[in-house]
Amino acid sequence: MPMARAIQHNSLSLPSSPQKTYTLSSQNQTQNEEVNGNDSINEKISQRRPSDLPKKSNGSSKNTSTTSTLPTSQSQGFRRLIINDGPTTRKRSNTDVPAIMSSSSNGFKQQLPTINGSTNEKSLSHHNPQQNQSAPPKPKSTLPASICQPSYVTPSKLFNMMGYGLQNQYLLMHAHYLYIIDCRSREKFNDSHIVTAIHWEDALNGNVYISVVERFSEIVLYDEKGVFFNTTAEMRRVSNRFSPHGSKSCILLAGGFEAFRILFPFVCNQADIRSTVDREKFLTIYPSVVLDNQLYLGTGHQATNWKVVRDLKLTHIINISVEHQCVFADKIKYLHIELEDKEDVLLKDRFDETIHFMNIAFQNPTNRILVHCNLGISRSSTLILAYLMKTYNSTLYEAYKFLRHRRPIVCPNIGFLHQLIEYEHDLFSYTYTDANDRLFH
């Protein structure tokens, strides 16, 4: 089966916090990202975000769709000055897939964007809270809540961690990334278990990775049903072994193996896949779950992998890229928007079209949509943010926080970010979100 690989066989570098420094000054302190029992992982690994730029960049934008043919346009502006002594997460260049796993440099800096053309004056007027105007109450967001007790992780969150984890894709390919321990009986483990998991007896006996446990990003334990605060004796033994007093706690899987298997049966099997070599050979990296059994965000390679499409039971795909074709047009309903990941590309004009396509699809509760661009970072995340804002009555800040919790690598380019802020003003007649907020950097 085809599968993108981006592996370096050296040890993972685990800095204490992501190193991203900007000259943009934020006037509003943001709250820390929601913690569902395991968000400490976001401070374990910081790697260069992969490029979401296409191989060709002629500045043109067109649209071909199996459902409709609509005009597009571009606007000039939002170009930035980039410091030449280091990369930035906002300025992307064409990058080979292996470079995705390369370590990012410290001291990233970014300057304020320069403005070219009067077309930007209108959008800039919405970037800061309105002067001499009291802020109206924020709209009541109806975004789904990921309710989970402290030190627990939901099945969807664990699935996303296995796919993209700590800010970079393909980490599950590393043997020392995620340590999953099955605390059920040996018989049940042999019958079926979460891929890459080991049995608790092997973990306690020190047969697997015991000498390098401290290098793991997270240690996840699960039993059969995962009842809150009602752990089994086996799970307590494992937790005490790997979480001595004063150290980081193990994470428990809410709902246990049963809940995970119901949502993701294709990630459960009898195979013994542990080493990096076996992981490269047998594992499939899936798109991130945005809404359970409904909406996914991923890469172009995943969208052209029939195993991924089949396992997720996808019925619709929104392809916003010039890099990838709609290869399953005879089985999948597509919306293809051919736009490049450039800051002066006008994507806001396609929001209504995309949201309409998704709303029509979701009228059937069995339909499932994958939204993808090249690497699932900028273009596709922008479309999903617009959908969440419109559908769930949420501000950009709330939608971004929600999406970033499910896929930490999302990062609309600065031009798309300002267009989303304009869209927020269109929806609520007020700008609640500040583009300089640290959440976006």
State the catalytic residues: 373
> What is the three-class DSSP state of 291?
strand
Using DSSP bridges, classify how beta strands 369-372 and 295-298 pair: parallel, antiparallel or unpaired.
parallel
Strand stretches in 128-196, DSSP E? 152-153, 178-182, 193-194
Measured over the CA atoms of residue 223, residue 228, residue 233 and residue 234, the dihedral's sign is positive
Tokens of 195: 């891929």
Query: 281, 284, 187, 183: which is closest to 225 by C-alpha?
Result: 183
**Distant-in-sequence, close-in-space partners of 244: CB < 8 Å, separation ≥ 6:** none
Q: What is the residue type of 144?
A: P
Q: Which helix (H) or strand (E) holds 253?
A: strand 251-253
Tokens 């995309």 identify what position? 354
Which pairing describes strands 316-319 and 369-372: parallel, antiparallel, or unpaired? parallel
Q: Would you say 274 and 198 are in contact if contact means Cβ atoms under 8 Å apart?
A: yes
What 3-state DSSP class applies to 21?
Answer: coil
HEC letters along 79-131:
EECCCCCCCCCCCCCCCCHHHHHCECCCCCCCCCEECCCCHHHHHHCCCCCCC
- Four-residue CA torsion sign, 92, 96, 97, 101: negative
**Strand 218-222, strand 251-253: pairing:** parallel
Beta strand extents in 292-437 (DSSP E only): 295-298, 316-319, 333-338, 369-372
Burial code (b: 16+ CB inside 10 Å, e: under 16) for 272-288 equals: eeeeeeebeeebbbbbb
**In 3D, which of 217, 215, 178 has the Cα closest to residue 198?**
178
416 CB burial (10 A radius; 0-12, 13-18, 19+): buried
Residue 371, helix vs strand vs coil: strand
